[in-house]
Structure 1
């Protein structure tokens, strides 16, 4: 068997994997399982569907070479109740040691019932960080016996603002092995796991399928927060010679209003709203009307309010925020079959918390989006760090504190030309102008 040939797994577990349809280890399993079995801390980075969950479940079940005793040895943290149920289901599918008792902890269930479940004994606990912390504080979860902590979908846990309970739980475990599984790695995630990871091996796999379709030119701008996005947009829109016509996509009307007021102040009446919901705001009911107006340079479009738009004559499509549905983005960047007079470029602004969405888009396209350098004179807004008091008060909303930050710092250089990326500004200036 492929599993037995490549990895030292129990025969019963190999049989269960094969019967479940896993004929052999995936790339991430080949690279990580031997390290996990050897007791090393591991950070595993890979796309959805590459086998991350099966990896740690296999590693956990391989540890139990004896009859389980109901003492909690393993704590698995996942983002939400649905993930708890999914992980427990896969444990049941692969577990051949029926003495192992698994318990799930999440906010969708009664705390009292879950406390009773823990009191009856639990060898493996699968939980959301907030509920695990609550049960721990009620003395229902004994972390002194835990010798393996798994943080699954760590990027989504950070996106939900659950860093504090993860850190408290991790640091309450006296000693043991730590495994982190994620689709992307970024600064916020690194800050969460660095206090408890001990000389981890970082394993990253890229399973990019064959390119599905041709896209228009794309550039990705990775910025630290919402405020810096606003500064970058404002900086770009000041270049009237280059950005003659730009459609800017956002996710909410509140964001559209904020950007409208910001750009209106700096660019007079060149900014407008698609299907304006305020009579005193400049608006257009069609992209064609926007293109025909010589005074209009920027059109703000709320993703939730529109379907497919005729964008083939717009030089710049700027995603200030990624749409909730990745298919919406893919439709906009897919290159048409017909010959187009206008060269179109898609610019996308993302923070750490949106990188997960970028990876899903790249998987769907079958190619990476080019990352552009930030302009040298871009003002970088500072983030206000969340305190434990904020988290306790329930203020753990992603990126909320980034909006309107009061402090900022400027890059050392103050060049008057934009460093879009090597050669990109020259390419941009070739776009057909409508202003």
Structure 2
């Protein structure tokens, strides 16, 4: 199982191409164990914690065996609209080379729009139980030709009271189908559900829970736009001057491009990935261990087994595809009770993955501010002053005295020292920075902050507020990015394109018995 590749799982070539495009190098444990069984047609219970790649586990299995008909071939039930959207987006990526239509259905979005979409050809429906059942009752969602049923995060669906809705949906399905049930835990209700609706020869795949704790490592996230990511990396490296660091990229091509760009800026760096010869990788790793390299750029697979003492920094140039990989990556620093630092460069499209990492690991990930050129220069001046002081104390500069005397005889001392410092810093300032500062990006870039005249005293919760906005304004809950609930009022950051809709559709409506007033927040409000 250790060196298993996606090519070993019996997946068709079009899926392997999509996987390669996504930069996935090898399957996670749940994928490696469940895909072959599901592809053989077995009903399956997949038990694994959040962040281990369960979506691709059932998604690839379905896409590999799905036979197109003139009806819905697969129904996937999820507990929340956010997860439905997430599963939909993952399936769209995995089915890049398949002629497969995927439709997400959930409350908070226009049901008429979903009905219109169902009237065109749809192969896979991903949805919340309530909305799926509503569409069935309206006689617009027909499940009599379903080949695959997936219950995703089954334990959460049962916790939320969806058991009756789930059973109502299952009654609409043909008996001859494949059922895939994925869950983080296995309470008695799940076992009862499995016994009732799954075949007798069903398989149970359980992935042992791994520690998702990274408490001794300082974790910092820099929010960047993709076009500025390399300059952001250079700023952080020039300011922090890591002694020895591993930099992770998602793809082999990404490793090659980053190494080339860094070498052009005079960083002492080499790369490692699966397309490189074993001899090259062994030689590169030897140089890294001996301290001949400051930076090693690698993919997750190539970095497996790297055990180098004294790694001060792990840098996620590309964020991982799952939480488990993130934990494995940053665990390469902060060993033997030493301090370690993990930096992540997060583009807007990676914000959801960062939220998953925070939620699962329960770690504090600090938002980092990119250093200005002035701050970088001041830091280097301080470091250089200390180095000069150390060298003077050691008194091992005597052989350079004749040159120093000659310089001082011919030039003004302060100007001569300034020229020497310029020569030194021109080598150390790798990037040709054109602006003193570089603007950071974030999940809230372009967001509008709204004031809501309702707060904690009204028993308001974040979930209640998101559902209120989604249902009334008919917008996706994922477009609500930040909520601060105070005693008497709240602030909600929403994406710019929906803020007018939220104000128009939600203002004056009662929530928890109080009529809500909404307006664009001013900086004066606290």
Please state which band the TM-score falls in when normalised by the shorter chain. 0.3 to 0.5
TM-score by length of 2: 0.39
TM-score by length of 1: 0.47
More helix by share: 2
Q: Which has the higher contact order (CA 8 A, sep 6+)?
A: 1
Structure showing greater radius of gyration is 2
